[in-house]
Structure 1
Amino acid sequence: MLRPVVVGMDGSRESLAAAEWAAQEALRRGLPLHLVHAWEGGVTPDLSELPELDAPRYRARRILRDAVERLGERCPQVVPTTEQIARSAPDALVAAGDEAELLVLGSRAFSGFGGFMAGSVALATIAHVTRPVVLVRAEQTLEGEHLPDAENHPSATTPYRDVLVGVDPANACEEVLAFAFESAMLRAAPLQAVYTWRLPYVEAAAEARARRAVGARAAKALTAILRPWREKFPTVDVHELTPEGSAAQRLTDAAKGAGLLVVGRRIRPARLGTHTGPVVHAVMHHVRCPVAVVPHQ
């Protein structure tokens, strides 16, 4: 049975943009699309007759109905299914995400109020879902995934923008690279693989030589880890980048022209807390293109 692309809906502009991005991704992957909305009074049988639930129940139905209608206009090739889940938003999204091929959420970069994607819920969901999660901004459009046309106008028919992936050879990242290479292949887009490094303390007289040596080792390590993936995905045009500096800052800078950023999140045994790591936390705040967070052991 095919895993669906699942979208968390809360009626915000961000979740509608997430649904449109997810519909395109479902088309690219040949997967079903499933829209979910969570509210704790949702469909619990013993609460179904309470009149005070009429307003939130109607709002929940309207959120999903409006999303389906919007997708029918903008992506008629995809016919989504919908579901109301009678659980708190984080619990509902984690459960739905664990059964999905990927989970797509609207992202406000933790600014503003209202809706279940405002900061803590998105963070809690990403920290606990065992499948990839993609965060999408409200301003994301179909044209935004593509390069501008010859007259520098937005276009949905030009080639896709680059897929960018952060690589750490010191940690197992097969799931991250698999997602990044597949995403680039599906888009016929170039893949930029970025491995950042920092120069350890050395005497000033030896700094230039040490920088060249460390940079060369970083380039060699990146080439080695990518070699089997280049062979597995021979049609993907891969660019290897090994800049010096902070991974969070370098990825944020490189993502300014990208169509998708892919980063990894190590799965931790503890189920409490929101352990995403500093790089994931930074790109969730600052990167404007869709961000895929891929969990790995």
Structure 2
Amino acid sequence: MQFPIVAAVDGSEGSLRALDWAASEAARSQLPLRVVHASLWERYETAWPTFDTGRPAEQILAEHLVASAQERVERLHAEVRTTADVRPEDPVHALVHESHEAALLVLGSRGRGRIAGMLLGSVSLAVAGRSHCPVVVVPAAAPEIPPEPARVVVGIGDAAGPSAAVRFALAQAVSRHGELIAVRAWRSPAHEAAKHPLLSGSPTSAHHQEAADHLEEVLAVLERSGPGADIHRSVVQGPAHQVLIEAAEGADLLVVGARRADGHPGSRLGPVNHAVLHYASCPVAVVPDTPAPQ
């Protein structure tokens, strides 16, 4: 059974940009696309006329919104099988429920609510933290024309082998006929240099080498799993969020993992995920940890 790519729409410019990204991804991956709008329109029944249809105006507008979104996809990518649905639920709850049977969730970084001017909307942040499938958040200022060749950047964490995020990033690079940039950030504890000023050899060099060795171990396992994209290594000193944001400049996609306690989605993302979702200039994929395939 093929799970669809799910695109969340709310009528905002940001959600239309995310819809276009999702449609292109569906065309490339040959997956169906499901367009979803979720809203608790019952809250607004007394504030909207019913147009004598027996249905709240917000419901009518929502149905028009998803129908327009579906037509937009059909104009851009006629080959993509597209369905649309309106769910009278809290958006976060509805989209997390969708994630149980979705290959990918795609959202805009900002919605149309009162806090739309924020760098990252509350719905996008909450869904990225709770989703059971990978979530791609498309920024409002994402470049219209993807780079050539395509570049997918992935952060390499402390896991002994390739994480779900690393495998997802490789698959994305392969589908784009592009390159994978594997980034390992490292930092040298400040007390080491101060505590051992006369030691032969550099503690900084040792930390760099340790990071480089770990990166090679992870990629060696990944490369043995089968043919893939051209993989480039990057070992950089600095805070992980800053290193990843800089590495993702001009990239197609930045991929990060989301650690989950006991394998269950939680409601909070780590500080690195928060930072890249807020400040990365390209779309960001947040991939929940899952057991690696045997």
TM category (shorter chain) comes to 0.7 to 0.9
Q: Does 1:83 align with 2:72?
A: no
- 1:101 maps to which of 76, 86, 103: 103
**Is this contact kept in 1: 2:8–2:36, CA < 8 A?**
yes
Worse overlay, 56-65 or 179-188: 56-65
Residue 230 of structure 2 corresponds to: 237
Residue 179 of structure 2 corresponds to: 190
Query: Gaps spanning 5+ residues in structure 2: where?
Result: 43-49
Residue deviations 1:131-158, cap 9 Å, x none?
1000012343552x233xxxxxxxxxxx
Residue 169 of structure 1 corresponds to: 158
| Backbone CA RMSD of aligned residues | 2.8
**Is this contact kept in 1: 2:103–2:133, CA < 8 A?**
yes
- 2:134 maps to which of 116, 132, 143: 132
**Is this contact kept in 2: 1:112–1:118, CA < 8 A?**
no
* Aligned equivalents of 2:205, 2:264: Cα separation in 1: 42
Shift, 1:105, TM fit: 0.5
Shift, 1:13, TM fit: 0.9
**Mapping 1:67-78, distance limit 5 Å:** 67-78=69-80
Worse overlay, 165-174 or 3-12: 165-174
Relative distance call for 1:233 and 1:18 in structure 2 (3 A) is: farther
Identity of aligned residues (%): 37
Residue 180 of structure 1 corresponds to: 169
Q: Does 1:146 align with 2:135?
A: no
**Mapping 1:208-247, distance limit 5 Å:** 209-247=202-240
Does the residue aligned with 2:185 lie in a helix, a strand or coil?
A: coil
The one-letter amino acid of 2:132's match is: T
* Aligned equivalents of 1:189, 1:15: Cα separation in 2: 26
Shift, 1:184, TM fit: 0.5
Residue 28 of structure 1 corresponds to: 28
Shift, 1:76, TM fit: 2.3
Relative distance call for 1:84 and 1:256 in structure 2 (3 A) is: same
**Is this contact kept in 2: 1:124–1:273, CA < 8 A?**
no
What TM-score do the two structures reach when normalised by structure 1?
0.85
Residue 12 of structure 2 corresponds to: 12
Shift, 1:29, TM fit: 1.5
Shift, 1:93, TM fit: 0.6
Residue 47 of structure 2 corresponds to: none
Relative distance call for 1:217 and 1:229 in structure 2 (3 A) is: same
Relative distance call for 1:212 and 1:141 in structure 2 (3 A) is: closer
* Aligned equivalents of 1:244, 1:181: Cα separation in 2: 23
**Is this contact kept in 2: 1:268–1:275, CA < 8 A?**
no
* Aligned equivalents of 1:272, 1:218: Cα separation in 2: 28
What TM-score do the two structures reach when normalised by structure 2?
0.85
